[in-house]
Structure 1
Amino acid sequence: MEFVEPIRDRNKIAAMKKLLAGSPRDHLLFVIGINTAYRVSDLLSMRYSDVMDSNGNLFPYFKLKETKTKKNSKVTMTKGVQKSLTDYIKDNYRGNPDDYLFQSRKRDKDGNSQPINRKSAWRIIQEAAKQLGLNDIGSHSLRKTFAYHQYKSGTDIVLIQDMLNHSNPSVTLRYIGITQDEKDRAIKALDL
């Protein structure tokens, strides 16, 4: 697995959203990814029943059992995520709540939907990033982008640590590149 960075520039995030808008599925993957602390494996396992009730009403939050940690997770949906989901569901939901949200073209032997795989998710994000001149970006950058912008907006590092299920704040700071950013800034400021 390659090392990836968060997307630090909000203008680049907006540009990624615009670029991915040509594929509603890919756009939604990006939007949910940068607005939650979920790993790509958790995003890809999402089904329509994880985001809406049987009447088609969106839940106010995601409620999943995380793949890696096996912990139950409840994450509120932002207004932007709700809008993206509503638009996506309107055009893509085919009536089966057990269908995956991020479907591939592949079906299982019974004709049921299959999710895109991790490699496809990585390629989607990485190729869009390259078009925008961003390097070291992949599907894991979504989670890092979420954490980075939470930190930059003033969210306590201990809360972010908890959202990411990290063992301590220093791990979280290193994970989102803050420690290196601060070292670089300190060295540049000295400039002897």
Structure 2
Amino acid sequence: MKIVEAVKTESDAETISRKLTLNAKGNTLYADIWRFGVNTALRISDLLTLTFDDVQGERLVITEGKTGKTRSIKLNTSAKTLIGRRRAAHPTHAYLFQVDSNRAKGKAVSRIAVANAFKAVGDEMGLALGTHSMRKTRGWLMHSGGKSIELICKVLNHSSPAVTMAYIGITQAEVDATYDDFGF
């Protein structure tokens, strides 16, 4: 399995969103998937099966495919706005991220299509982007914003903080730098 990176700045995350829209000639589908994925930290398998019925007021209630656990995720303003915009633009869609092509009418966008769109933008930016990059980015931005590893572990639904640290890409160089930052 190829290792993908977390995007480590909000500015780069925003650039990815813009490039996804540009590469799709104005279609916001992949940019919306990117934004929603970073905002909710869902696994791609859960993200692509979301329906508008999964939205219950201010929350998204799903059963995770990987763990079988029910999750209730509070939707932030950005996620709610995205859902409202997609619902208004596609009132007949069942899936939040549904395609309109004749071959896949009525189906959610495929993981392969998303992976290809992300990879193309990653190649442009010199980043190893993939479908897990959204979750990793959410975790990294929380970490750099001062949130505890234990809280990030809970948000990502990981089994331990050690898994979370490896997942978001805390490097040996970053650990080493703490020795310079906190000497007396």
Per the normalisation by structure 2, the TM-score is 0.85
In 1: Cα distance, 2:47 partner to 2:107 partner:
13
Q: 1:61: Cα distance to partner?
A: 1.4
- Aligned residue runs from structure 1 range 2-151, under 5 A: 2-21=2-21, 22-51=26-55, 59-94=57-92, 99-104=94-99, 105=101, 113-131=106-124, 133-151=125-143
Unpaired stretches in structure 1, ≥5 consecutive residues: 53-58
Is there any run of 5+ residues in structure 2 with no aligned partner, and where? none
Whole-angstrom distance in 2 between the partners of 1:165 and 1:106: 37
Cα deviation digits, residues 64-106 of structure 1 (max 9, x gap): 1001001001111111111222222211122x5xx21212335
Give the Cα separation in 1 of the matches to 2:41 and 2:47. 10
Comparing 99-108 with 120-129, greater Cα deviation is found at 99-108
Q: List structure 1 runs of 4+ shifted beyond 3 angstroms.
A: 183-189
Distance 2:123 2:15 in 1: 12
1:55 corresponds in structure 2 to: none
Rounded Cα–Cα distance in structure 2 between residues aligned with 1:184 and 1:138: 28
- Give aligned pairs, total: 176
Aligned residue type for 2:82? S
Query: Counterpart in 2 of 1:180?
Result: 172
Flag the 1:135–1:103 CA change in 2: closer, same or farther, 3 A. Answer: same
2:129 and 2:180 map into 1 onto residues whose CA distance is 25
Q: In percent, how many aligned pairs have the same letter? A: 29
Matched, 1:170 2:162: yes
Return the offset for 1:136: 1.0
Q: CA deviation at 1:134?
A: 3.1
Structure 1 residue matching 2:71: 3-state secondary structure: strand
Deviations 1:131-170 (A, max 9, x none): 3x13211111001001111111122211211222222111
